[in-house]
Amino acid sequence: MAHDRRFRFGIQVRGPFQGLSWADTARRVEELGYSTLFLPDHFHEQWGPIAAMAAAAGATSTLKVGTLVFDNDYRHPVTLAKEMATVDLLSEGRCEVGIGAGWKRLDYEQSGIVEDAPGVRVSRMMEGVAVLRGLWADGPFDYSGTHYEITGLDGGPGPYTPGGPPLIVAGGSPRMLRFAGAHADIVGVNPSIHSGEVDADAARDGMADRMDAKVGWVKEGAGARWDDLEINAWVPVAKVTEDSASFAELLAPSFGVPADEALESPMTIVGSIAEITDRLEERRSRWGFSYHVIQDESGAIEMAPVVAALAGS
């Protein structure tokens, strides 16, 4: 069934809101109308995503829990398939599993995990997706690839969601986005981070002209699946203001583009409620973006009026 592309919003955090327990944080996110509570998957100061997902699901009744995104290099897909099936069972189908090929140079350097060339990491992640899907299906699973060898494994427990929880594949390159279009349920269309850290080049790759190309790659990969996909935007800058032009002037240097271009990027949600409504409607029409993920506690509070106005429409 084709996705109806109604607006929904997620929030990505590294730990509890200030002064709140993790359970109370999850309940607060749910009260604010957010669809999903996400955690990243890095080795710096953040809560462990798997345990935090399970605890947040147990403290809420409608809130979905997920990751943006698991680095495939950090977790063998056999182990991850079991953990995510378990979270899906505990949450009664409120789990979303984001996965990517890895990008953060500091994670690899500090952990000692080998950072292979991008093409190798992407190939390994593609095999990892096949293993996840296979283990979430019924019956024993066999797989023979370059990176993974699975023999007769019936990877119980089975997930609550038939076929497994929705899979988010996020990336910014042609190969990644064509693959996501062909295999994901939700596609995170992101800037490419070639340097291994978020810098001016990565910001520039999130501008509107680049999104035209990126969504085109998703469509190429999806073919007849395009209408079935939900398109996800990671939003590091969110501000409700009656003076979007002045805010954009402050923002533009960090993006390395003119102010008006910064406002057009799906990486930003800036303006009055009316302006933001118009911008998000335009992005949904132009690129298919309907699922926007805001960052941190301040973003969650800042964007609550937008969530109240647009979620489900």
Residue 108 banded pLDDT, cuts 50, 70, 90 = very high
pLDDT tens sequence across 41-81: 999 889 999 999 999 999 999 999 999 999 999 999 999 99
Mean pLDDT of the chain: 95
CA dist list (Å): 294 to 19, 55, 217, 258: 20, 21, 24, 23
Cα distance between residue 5 and residue 291, in whole Å: 8
**Among 269, 278, 267, 277, which Cα is nearest to 247's?**
269
pLDDT tens sequence across 145-190: 999 999 999 978 999 999 999 999 999 999 999 999 999 999 999 9
Structure tokens at 43: 């080795």
pLDDT tens sequence across 245-294: 999 999 888 888 889 999 999 999 999 999 999 999 999 999 999 999 99
103 lies in a domain?
Answer: yes
142 lies in a domain?
Answer: yes
pLDDT tens sequence across 192-234: 876 667 666 777 888 999 999 999 999 999 999 999 999 999 9
What number of other Cβ atoms are within 10 A of residue 273's Cβ?
14
pLDDT at 1 over 60: no
1 lies in a domain?
Answer: no
CATH label of the domain that carries residue 114 = 3.20.20.30
Range of the structural domain that residue 243 is part of:
8-310
261 lies in a domain?
Answer: yes
How many domains in the chain?
1
150 three-state secondary structure: strand
Structure tokens at 152: 């007769």
Rounded to two decimals, the pTM is 0.96
2 lies in a domain?
Answer: no
Cα distance between residue 261 and residue 107, in whole Å: 31
H or E segment and range at residue 131: helix 118-136
313 three-state secondary structure: coil
Residues 247, 21 contacting (CB under 8 angstroms): no
99 lies in a domain?
Answer: yes
257 lies in a domain?
Answer: yes
Helices and strands, number each (H, E), in the chain: 13, 13
Structure tokens at 193: 């981070």
Is the torsion defined by CA of 115, 116, 121, 127 positive or negative? negative
284 lies in a domain?
Answer: yes
Contacts of 15 (CB under 8 A, 6+ apart): 22, 45, 46, 47, 52
